[in-house]
Amino acid sequence: MAIDGILMHKTIPLIQQVLPLRIQKIYEISNTEILFQTHGRAGKKQLLISCHSVYNRILFTERSYPTPQEPGNFVMLLRKYLEGSFIENIEQAGLDRWCKAVIRHVNMIGDIEYLYLYTELMGKYANVILVSQEGKIIDALKRIPPFENSRRTILPGAVFTETGPQDKKDPFVTSAIDPERSLTAQFSGFSPFLAKEAEYRMAHGETFADIMNEIEKSDSLYIANSKNEAVYHCIELKHIGECRRYPVMEGFDILYYHKEEKDRIKQISGDVFRFAARQLKHNRTKLPRLLEEYDESLDCDRYRKYGDLLFTYSYVNTKGRNSVTVTDYETDEPVDIPVDPKLSTADNARKAYQKYNKRKKGQTYLQEQIRLCENEISYFEGILEQLDQADFTSAAEIRDELIQQGYLSEKSFAKKSRRKKKDTHPAVFNFTVNGISVSFGRNNLQNDWLTWHAAAKSDIWMHAKDYHGSHLVIHSTDPDEDTVRKCAAVAAYYSAGRMSSSVPVVWCPVRNLKKIPGAKPGMVQLGSYRTIYIDPDPLLIEELGIAPS
């Protein structure tokens, strides 16, 4: 669900009231998001502009965001022109979904000039465009060449043309409604979703003027769930039902921070995603070939029989022939033996023995290769599952794990300014159930450290059986049934079985676990254990405050 003109009308004044702002730093937090760290009379503020096709918005945020190692070209250009400059004004174009920020800038020779930063939040066409004082485009986040849009070219050096106003009425000025036309066709700033809410309210006795008066006075964002999707607006959503109410800026952060976090992780740690997916594909392709070779090797006795028969019938000439037919001296059945027409009978017999020996010895080798290949498939399936639920810290630890295991080169990913942390152990996740402390990991390094270093021998350990997932430790020797069930639900949720029902979760004291020699991180061998079948419960996860990113 994208922002509409009326919601933008609620956020722009919140920015205007703290102007002017000095731009101190500019960061690229994803391919579609730019973060301005600013300072003004209200103190430090982070201004976020998102040009995501669905989550586009402009607002102040208090969240912390990691940044890519290498910023894009547009952000580098913004740093050149805008760092140290002042945002003096920002205005929305009526109720359209774009605004213009006026920025006072000192050029290279010390003269003051004004630059214009246009933010257009129009779905998939969302864009940020930096325009010079003369009205020419300096650059844009998304360049649009003439062959894509002949009416409006967005390229450096082109003359910038503002998006024209729509021929619609201002709903804050007039309340006259044409019943034959939709509200979106009549009024500026109306999205289909807001129009549906307004139509529902008018059908239940409210007037259009009353609805617009409520919108004008609102300083909140109302969020509800509809068909498993978050919907929102600045008035209560009566056609949906129960809503949660937040301040506008905070509400957008709650809505979109975690939704876009996965995109940011993939962009910042995209090399890890691609590597893991490539390795998984390689091993899945390799395994059927190994199994086919192993099946062939099991038929090795056939070649021994061919060799025996060729030596028995050594008088049969094989040169110039592709096969010979002889009688099996054990069964008196005819046997067709493929031979090499270039070789003699004795040489073809020796070649048959060579094939027998090769396949016989290859059985052990192929069994080991099949086992290793299956382990690699399981390992990288687990890595991708962990990356799918990872936050920034967990994703970085997964990269470190792949470096430690020798899959990736440390030099390829070392930051120039990277500092070593004093506390080097992985950061596991902690919460409380019925007053009992519980911890769980969300990658192999966290699981390994939690199980073998953080947990006491008498603590209770849990894991979803036959699924890749979290190790969970209840820091208690004898938890009650309710605690066990809730913790089992968490272990089931943070596993590959989170979309299933009746997930088996095994649990036992940590002392019943053993390390597997030579195994990868996160692998354990269980002694005696108990099993509980539980349904993963997203509502419980939210209630415990451990909802995934």
Q: Could you read off the pLDDT of 140-180 as tens digits, one per residue?
A: 999 988 888 778 889 999 999 998 888 899 999 888 888 88
CB-based contacts of 44, cutoff 8 Å, min separation 6: 37, 38
pTM of the model: 0.64
Which residues lie closer than 8 Å to 501 by C-beta, 6 or more apart?
Answer: 535, 536
Residue 91 reports pLDDT greater than 70: yes
Residue 132 banded pLDDT, cuts 50, 70, 90: very high
Looking at residue 353, its pLDDT comes to 93
Residue 461: predicted pLDDT:
96
pLDDT of residue 260: 65
What token pair was written down for 50? 């998102």
**What Cα–Cα distance (Å) separates residue 405 from each residue in 273, 283, 395, 400, 419?**
16, 17, 15, 9, 21
For the cut 70, the answer to whether the pLDDT of residue 1 exceeds it is: no
pLDDT band, residue 268 (cuts 50/70/90): low
Residue 36: burial class (beta carbons within 10 Å; 0-12, 13-18, 19+): buried
Query: How large is the average pLDDT for residues 278-298?
Result: 93
Please determine, for residue 419, whether its predicted confidence score (pLDDT) is greater than 50.
no
- Of the pLDDT bands very low, low, confident and very high (cuts 50, 70, 90), residue 417 is very low
pLDDT confidence tier of residue 55, bands split at 50, 70 and 90: confident
- Nearest in space to 20 (alpha carbons), one of 47, 46, 38: 38
Cβ-Cβ contacts under 8 Å for 258 (sequence gap 6 or more): 547, 548, 549
CA atoms within 13 A on the CB side of 137: 23
Buried b (16+ CB within 10 A) or exposed e, 285-307: ebbeebeebbeebeebeebbbbb
Tokens matching residue 111? 């003269």
pLDDT for 454 = 92
What pLDDT does residue 128 have?
95
Q: How far apart are CA 168 and CA 185, in angstroms?
A: 7
Rounded average pLDDT over 23-43: 91
Which residues in 132-218 belong to E strands, given as ranges?
137-140
Residue 546: predicted pLDDT: 83
What would the pLDDT profile of 181-224 be if each residue is shown by its tens digit?
A: 899 999 999 999 999 999 999 999 999 999 999 999 999 999 88
* Residues whose CB falls within 8 Å of the CB of residue 455, separated by 6 or more in sequence, listed in order: 439, 461, 473, 475, 510
Residue 105 backbone dihedrals phi, psi, to 5 degrees: -130, 140
Which of 268, 276, 266 minimizes the C-alpha distance to 401? 276
Average pLDDT of span 315-329? 90
What are the residue ranges spanned by the domains of the chain?
Answer: 5-140, 183-266, 272-387, 429-544
278 vs 420, which has greater pLDDT? 278
State which amino acid sits at residue 293: E
Residues contacting 372, CB < 8 A, separation 6+: none
77, pLDDT greater than 70: yes
Average pLDDT for 508-536: 91
Where does the pLDDT of residue 394 fall: very low under 50, low under 70, confident under 90, or very high at 90 and above?
confident
Sheet arrangement for strand 229-233:
229-233, 220-226, 244-247
CATH number belonging to the domain at 5-140, selected among 2.30.310.10, 3.40.190.10, 3.40.50.1820, 2.60.40.420? 2.30.310.10
Angle, vertex CA 548, rays to CA 66 and CA 467, nearest 5: 120
3-state secondary structure string, 497-542? Answer: CCCCCCEEEEEEEHHHEEECCCCCCCCEEECCCEEEEECCCHHHHH
The pLDDT of residue 414 is above 60: no
Residue 548 predicted with pLDDT over 70: no
The whole-chain average pLDDT of the chain stands at 88
